[in-house]
Amino acid sequence: MSDTLLSNLEAGVLTLTFNRPQKKNAFTGDMYDAAARALLDADQNEAVRVVVLTGAGSTFTAGNDLKDFLEHPPTGETSPVFRYLRALAHLSRPVVAGVDGVAVGIGTTMLLHCDYVVASERAVFSMPFINLGLCPEGASSVLLPRVAGMALASELLLFGDPFDAATALRAGLVNQVVPDASLPEVVQKRAAALAAKPVESLRLTKRLLREPLRATVDEALAREGKEFVQRLGSAEAREAFNAFLSKKK
C-alpha cells in the first residue's frame, strides 16, 4: 500500500484507510490506483472476509483532489477513478464503511456500493457534481433513485447541496448514525460480526443481493463515465472549476 492508503488485515477484516488527513483525505490518481489494486487483491485473498473503508482523522474523504484531478483528468474507463469504482462494485466481500466528517462527491456515491454504512452524527454528505458543471458518477443516477426514491434523489443531485447524516439515513445511503466518538467501535463490531458468519454463505448472499442489478450498474458506470469525461472538457465545467478555485484562494 501507499502512504496515502493504509491497509490492515486482522481476524478476517481488511481495513483500508484513506490517509491524507491534511487534505481531508482527498483522492489523487495514485490513491485511486492503490485502492483499486487493494480491492482486487482482497478478492483473491481467502484470509479477507470483510472490507472496511474509512478515513484518517475526522474525515471520510473530500472527494477528488481538484488540483491533481485537473492536472491528471480521467480520460476513459481505464482511468484510476473508474477502475476503483468497478472494483468496488464487483467486490465479492461485504464492505462496511465508517463515515466521519465530510463525504464529498465519490465519498458519497461509493457508499451505494457498500453493504453496511455507519455514519457519525457530525458527518456531512454532498454530491456537488452539478455545481462543477459535471454529472453524476458511480452509478448514482441509477442506484440513488432506487434507494432514496426519485424525489429525494433528484433533490440531492440537481441542487448538489450538502446534507446531514439524518438525511443520508432517510436516503438509504447509511444504515446507522452513531455518536461521533462511538464510530470506530461500532464499525469494527459490525465488520467483526460479518466476518464471523459462514464465509461461503456470506459471499453468496451478497452476490444474490447485487447480481440482479449487475448489468444495470455496469451500464450506468460506463454511461456516466463517458458523459463525465466529456463534461470535464466543457466550457461550463472550466468556468465552474475556475470559479471554485478562485473562491478557495
In this prediction, residue 222 has a pLDDT band, given cuts at 50, 70 and 90, of: very high
Beta strands in the chain (DSSP E): 5-10, 13-18, 50-55, 95-99, 102-104, 116-120, 124-126, 163-164, 176-178
- 221, 86 contact by CB (below 8 A): yes
Per the structure block, which three cell numbers stand in for 122?
457530525
In this prediction, residue 78 has a pLDDT band, given cuts at 50, 70 and 90, of: very high
> What integer is the mean pLDDT of 161-181?
98
> What integer is the mean pLDDT of 60-87?
93
Mean pLDDT of the chain: 96
CA angle 179, 147, 184 (to 5 degrees): 25
Q: Tell me whether residue 65 is exposed, middle or buried, using C-beta atoms within 10 angstroms of its C-beta: 0 to 12, 13 to 18, 19 or more.
A: buried
- Helices marked H in 8-99: 29-42, 66-71, 80-90
Domain boundary assignment for the chain: 5-180
Residue with cell 460480526: 193
In this prediction, residue 248 has a pLDDT band, given cuts at 50, 70 and 90, of: low
CATH number for the domain running over 5-180 = 3.90.226.10
Nearest to 57 by CA among 95, 103, 108, 22: 22
Pairing state between β 13-18 and 95-99: unpaired
- 123, 168 contact by CB (below 8 A): yes
Q: Which residue has the higher pLDDT, 68 or 247?
A: 68
In this prediction, residue 1 has a pLDDT band, given cuts at 50, 70 and 90, of: low
Residues near 150 by beta carbon (within 8 Å), at least 6 away in sequence: none
Amino acid at the residue 136? P
Does residue 249 have a pLDDT over 60? no
Q: What is the DSSP letter of 211?
A: G
Distance (Å, whole) CA 178 – CA 165: 9
